Amino acid sequence: MKLTFLGTGTSFGVPQIGCSCAVCRSPDPRDRRMRSAAVVETDSGLRLLIDTPPELRLQLITAGIDRIDAVLFTHEHADHTHGIDDLRAVSNRRGAAIPMYGPAETLEHLAQRFPYIFDDRVRALPGTSKPEAQARAVHEGTPVRIGDVDVIPVAVPHGTVTVFGYRIGPLGYVTDAKRVPEAALAALRGVRVLVVNALFRTEHPTHLSIPEAIQVAHEIGAERTYLTHLTHDNLHADLEAELPAGIAPAFDGLTIRID
């Protein structure tokens, strides 16, 4: 299995508009973070896209990805969904709708915001095209078979919203969690690689802080943990140097193999 981080930034992205802090001016390419998304590719070639952030077109082109077999949505917030229209080129090439999985509430929100994508009654005019999607609601703790893998939705709180992380075989991917409840910890124990959000060093009302994310990593016990959804409060090199062994900040374009 292969994991590619398309974006590892928070909702503002890094650099932030109008900011001249050291991180936003950093020449280190690892400090340039688009909004969070990832692609998981199995050994059979199945490609799962996690979320559709606003920079999705640029992310897929940069990563050289021209095919997606299914999308996993974590939740409906704009920084995780508003690049969905960029999948038009993908669905056109497929010649069929792209299965899109996620919490029922998230899919309902997307159908309201982007009815032309999900409503089969909306047809593109002759000579034009539109993204084609097939909504498939998933439920906490109930595995869904996609291609050659079982995907287990893992529910975590994010303010007033419930976010779905996902366990995909040896990989656990959790973003926008404020905490990871015991049921979610139990579902994720045994993964070899964990991805978890980490915002500031100080506490935040809707996201794990870096110290809290480290604690979650220790409780789950993965061989490798990567922090994502990072802000411009952290120079990549400095954060990498201070994290415990086995935990590292992810960066846009990072690709790892999970055997």
> Stretch 74-96: mean pLDDT, rounded?
96
Instruction: Please write the tens of the pLDDT for every residue from 138-185.
Output: 999 999 999 999 999 999 999 999 999 999 999 999 999 999 999 999
Beta bridge partners of 155: 164
Parse the chain into domains and list their residue ranges.
2-257
> Stretch 181-196: mean pLDDT, rounded?
98
Instruction: Please write the tens of the pLDDT for every residue from 110-141.
Output: 999 999 999 888 888 888 889 999 999 999 99
pTM of the predicted protein model: 0.97
CATH code for the domain defined by 2-257: 3.60.15.10
